[in-house]
Structure 1
């Protein structure tokens, strides 16, 4: 070996010593420099390349790591690191291709676990479930609990999607497992049970974190935030919006580290607000739609946020609603129906019913499979416009399996009766009964109510034979129902007395239904009059025959009820009543008309002056009224009139102001 090669080997050993030292100390920047020194001397050193790549990943420099892999030929074999960088850069599709390019069967454990994470991000939960089960089965290390938690998260998503796959019981010994179990329950609509489990999970989480003395209250609140938001969702779905809204508000106030959680809480708050607190909703929907959370939310969450953004724009009458709907459909083609409904609602607000129906009809032509939903939307639109005939036409165009369902039949009958077309309603019920007889479909469920309503309708309409058909179906389904049998006898009696007689024999005997005492009481009852009339009749009879027992007590009661008329307090029986007491006031002799202030009088006194005081200044009357004037003036001096008192009071106030 030459001296140059010896020096090279010595330098490489020295740099590897530095690299190991910096790597163990977590000084990754210095580790990268040491690795670069080795690579510059010996580019074929795969270990140095690997150490540099790991250091870049530890520093979250994923872009730089990928560029380094592309430039370095010896790094091409490091598929795990390359796929991991692509996964962290939110490129799960590319990462999956990189893993599958390994062409190793079976995959090494590290690639297998990374592939499971990538499949979860891509929402391929069936494959992810199978892969995690295989990993847990064939691995024995300290990460078994984390893998079980990940598997429970996959199971929760499978439950939400409504899979037929048998989900294993993973236990509930950690708060994460209890949380995922609660999410699975909420996904299938069992919100009450999920609420209980979430409260248990919250308690377990707090107890677990409080055991570590280094954990602060802020850290505990951050960890509890996801559990509390899920709890608020369960409360919201149970209609307990006030409690849910309080939890969302508290979570947003604490500003959790998880931006995806903030987006979910903001979106759910917007749903609670509906068309109220629009300014607050706008602020929150913006927080839910930032780019930073785009890759942290699953497709269901992103779709619901996008739809809510459009609905909020509908509530706020924004001009760019059509543009928002266009973007929604462009990004999520499966939400085209939702976009059409939002557009039609916008047109309905403007009372453009024709244009709204055209939007829905155009979508129905493009998507025949979703025609049922569109037709029901069109029916609602026609009813809002008051066009019952059009609504009937759309309902009649439905397939028989849908058209003859109890709900649709009921709606059609109501619409027919609303248009005064009783014959069409009767024909529809006949056809529905015949269709169910021929098909005997069990998918619809209990048809008892429909048979009964059909029978009542036809009996009231005088169509006893058709009513009998419905009652026969009812009687077959429940032969012990005597009410149905009695109705059937009544129906038969109108067109087939023999059948009525035969059916009546199946009815129970009267003696089995009632006792002899009840029969006697019923026979003694006067059915022609109501109770009040009977009482009145008996009382008049007792008045006509005073000799009958009890008549004297009745007369005494009548006498007691009579009361003397009350007279006025100062009534004088000797005084003659006023002959003009029944005349209107304006026709009586002593009536004085109100003084017209517009007519000028010859002589006026000061305000509040009595008429006798005015006469004092009349020279023609002064001699005759002298004594009276003196008496009245003396009384007025002692007790001034209300107007004079008011004037004096006001004058005092004015003086006080100056």
Structure 2
């Protein structure tokens, strides 16, 4: 068969052009059929032809079922590309990582990007860009912009490593669009709106695209622009744009799904059953076009919300039960939390107050470590005004985590979200000691860990600085020392470091103190003379006037008496006469008043032995005598001796 290969290949090339992949595939099938599939060269040509025709599923199956061991090593890159295009991203990334070629790096980078491994993807593109090829320079720059935007959405970039949009980003619609996505990830919607308008203009006037291609590129830009307008509250502009966008024309189902969601949220409120039908009108998104998590999570949330509005409680419970069963231990995964929130809402069945709590509490007995369920119950308690039960619920959950020895449990126990939840509840109840204690425990755990949450450590350090305890001061000093290593230019960190090292003269007067705003700059706009004249030392007369109301101050300034306070008639006696002088002896008992006259047959006189509050004859008080003796002896034991009961020895 090896002798037939040149002639068969020559015949194939004579009968087809280089772009006619359908004909190439047809001729390959004929040759392979006659050769019974043993023609290695024809197998390779057929695999490439299938890829050129976007028949990736067939290409992957052809490799797995027909390609022998002799050819597998030669066509692994083509197979990796087929895996990537069919959505088998993990397999594609692992296979291409084992290959050493520029093409394999491209396939791995694309696969890692779809897997949301932005750090690894960025490393791959740095390696690819180090091998300069002018033909790929623009595409690599576009891809790098997409990677940066994804990393910001996922929170994989710190504020210092974020690249801001530059002049070069405004040269093409692809780079402008990616720069706008980065602004959206940072919440800078005004700048994102400007960049999206620029991207639309560049796309409309592009000479490299056909009208059909322009329409396909403009649609996702418009969908993104619709999201930005909604985020800024520009609903009138959003409604106008939504009327111009036909999301059903989107070539990929993922864009169609996102666009339909945004259009649905832009229009006026409609019947929830109609919204449910519209939301589910798009086909299921295929595996090779699946959404990123920061897209799928909001969409899943909207889906469950519409299901609850249409009373599909059982459907919401069953759809979220799978995720909850897989993660039986405490989990802070966004997918698990979302499933728990809506599962709890479904059990509440649109009830509120105590009725909703009664419906949900049985689920807490089944899933005591379900964080989403606990957070939702806390919210229910707070809305119902029962903050005490909310605090007890979180404290009991933390105690269960403290009793567990797993490291993962500790990470969850001191997670910034949960710590802030408990401290917020403590603050609501005025428990400053509880806030300080909880922040101190969290700081003691995180300050020994890499990549510790800086906001949590800063809050703990500030709280500990307010304490008079020496141990708290030392912990605050250690916290701010660690923060200073992580972010040496942050003014809040530097201020905390200087304050926590107040006993150290070098820290107070050294380079760290120089980074802070000087005292002279802080008091530059303060008029010292005006402050002194307004009353830094105030006389007693000034304080009295300050305590009086405006009407009373005016009356005092004019030399008159302030207007007396009006007394309500309901508080006065029935026979009250304002012209009659009150009896000065009205506070004394009637028998003790000077004008009291006893009834006939009774004598007037004081009865000191019965009058409460009257004079007491100490000589008659036996207990007082014995007590005085006991104290004067200085033994200290007599006061605790019990008096024996009468008749006992």
Q: 1: CA distance between counterparts of 2:235 and 2:40?
A: 59
Contact 1:80–1:111 (CA<8 Å) still a contact in 2?
yes
Q: 1: CA distance between counterparts of 2:163 and 2:224?
A: 23
| 347 and 529 in structure 1: CA distance in 2 versus 1, 3 angstrom threshold | closer
**Structure 1 position 159, deviation (Å):** 1.4
Q: 1: CA distance between counterparts of 2:213 and 2:320?
A: 40
Q: Deviations over 1:469-521 (max 9, x none)?
A: xxxxxxx99xxxxxxxxxxxxxxxxxxxxxxxxxxxxxx99994159xx99x9
Q: 2: CA distance between counterparts of 1:404 and 1:292?
A: 39
Contact 1:403–1:409 (CA<8 Å) still a contact in 2?
no
Contact 2:229–2:235 (CA<8 Å) still a contact in 1?
yes
**Structure 1 position 263, deviation (Å):** 0.7
Q: 1: CA distance between counterparts of 2:88 and 2:462?
A: 52
Q: Does 1:309 find its partner at 2:309?
A: no
**Structure 1 position 376, deviation (Å):** 4.5
TM value normalised by structure 2: 0.58
Q: 1: CA distance between counterparts of 2:135 and 2:299?
A: 39
1:95 alignment counterpart: 92
1:358 alignment counterpart: 362
Q: 2: CA distance between counterparts of 1:404 and 1:344?
A: 19
1:257 alignment counterpart: 251
| 384 and 201 in structure 1: CA distance in 2 versus 1, 3 angstrom threshold | same
Q: Does 1:244 find its partner at 2:229?
A: no
Q: 1: CA distance between counterparts of 2:75 and 2:557?
A: 109
**Structure 1 position 117, deviation (Å):** 1.7
| 430 and 231 in structure 1: CA distance in 2 versus 1, 3 angstrom threshold | same
Q: Secondary structure at the match of 2:223?
A: helix
1:561 alignment counterpart: none
2:51 alignment counterpart: 57
Q: Secondary structure at the match of 1:81?
A: helix
Q: Secondary structure at the match of 1:24?
A: coil
Q: Secondary structure at the match of 2:123?
A: helix
Contact 1:178–1:197 (CA<8 Å) still a contact in 2?
yes
Which residue among 36, 58, 71 is the counterpart of 1:75?
71
Unaligned runs of at least 5 residues, structure 1: 414-427, 452-475, 478-507, 541-658
Q: 1: CA distance between counterparts of 2:547 and 2:103?
A: 92
Q: Secondary structure at the match of 2:156?
A: coil
**Structure 1 position 68, deviation (Å):** 3.7
| 215 and 35 in structure 1: CA distance in 2 versus 1, 3 angstrom threshold | closer
Q: Does 1:443 find its partner at 2:440?
A: no
CA RMSD of aligned residues (A): 4.7
Q: Deviations over 1:354-398 (max 9, x none)?
A: 231332464343x5xx4xx65543233224455455245446668
Contact 1:275–1:312 (CA<8 Å) still a contact in 2?
no
Q: 2: CA distance between counterparts of 1:432 and 1:61?
A: 61
2:377 alignment counterpart: 378
1:614 alignment counterpart: none
| 270 and 118 in structure 1: CA distance in 2 versus 1, 3 angstrom threshold | same
Report how many aligned residue pairs link the two structures: 452
| 306 and 123 in structure 1: CA distance in 2 versus 1, 3 angstrom threshold | same
Q: Secondary structure at the match of 1:127?
A: helix
Contact 1:90–1:295 (CA<8 Å) still a contact in 2?
yes
| 359 and 47 in structure 1: CA distance in 2 versus 1, 3 angstrom threshold | same
Contact 2:86–2:288 (CA<8 Å) still a contact in 1?
no
**Structure 1 position 339, deviation (Å):** 2.5
Contact 2:176–2:199 (CA<8 Å) still a contact in 1?
yes
Contact 1:15–1:35 (CA<8 Å) still a contact in 2?
no
Q: Does 1:339 find its partner at 2:339?
A: yes
2:210 alignment counterpart: 215
| 257 and 193 in structure 1: CA distance in 2 versus 1, 3 angstrom threshold | same
Which residue among 180, 183, 204 is the counterpart of 1:182?
180
| 280 and 262 in structure 1: CA distance in 2 versus 1, 3 angstrom threshold | farther
| 231 and 510 in structure 1: CA distance in 2 versus 1, 3 angstrom threshold | closer
Aligned residue runs from structure 1 range 123-522, under 5 A: 123-164=116-157, 166=161, 171-172=168-169, 173-207=171-205, 209=206, 211=207, 215-216=210-211, 219-252=213-246, 255-270=249-264, 276-287=270-281, 290-292=284-286, 295-319=289-313, 320-327=315-322, 329=324, 334=333, 335-348=335-348, 349-350=350-351, 351-360=355-364, 362-365=366-369, 367=370, 370=371, 375-385=374-384, 387=386, 389-391=388-390, 393-394=392-393, 402=419, 407-413=424-430, 428-429=431-432, 442-443=458-459, 512-514=532-534
Q: Does 1:114 find its partner at 2:130?
A: no
Q: Deviations over 1:564-591 (max 9, x none)?
A: xxxxxxxxxxxxxxxxxxxxxxxxxxxx
Q: 1: CA distance between counterparts of 2:139 and 2:344?
A: 48
1:496 alignment counterpart: none
Aligned residue runs from structure 1 range 26-41, under 5 A: 26-36=19-29, 38-39=31-32, 40=34
Q: 1: CA distance between counterparts of 2:84 and 2:265?
A: 33
Unaligned runs of at least 5 residues, structure 2: 400-413, 445-456, 468-498, 501-527, 561-649
Contact 1:19–1:34 (CA<8 Å) still a contact in 2?
yes
Q: 2: CA distance between counterparts of 1:15 and 1:404?
A: 73
Q: 1: CA distance between counterparts of 2:439 and 2:40?
A: 76
Q: Does 1:20 find its partner at 2:36?
A: no
Contact 1:56–1:64 (CA<8 Å) still a contact in 2?
yes
**Structure 1 position 274, deviation (Å):** 10
Q: 1: CA distance between counterparts of 2:157 and 2:312?
A: 43
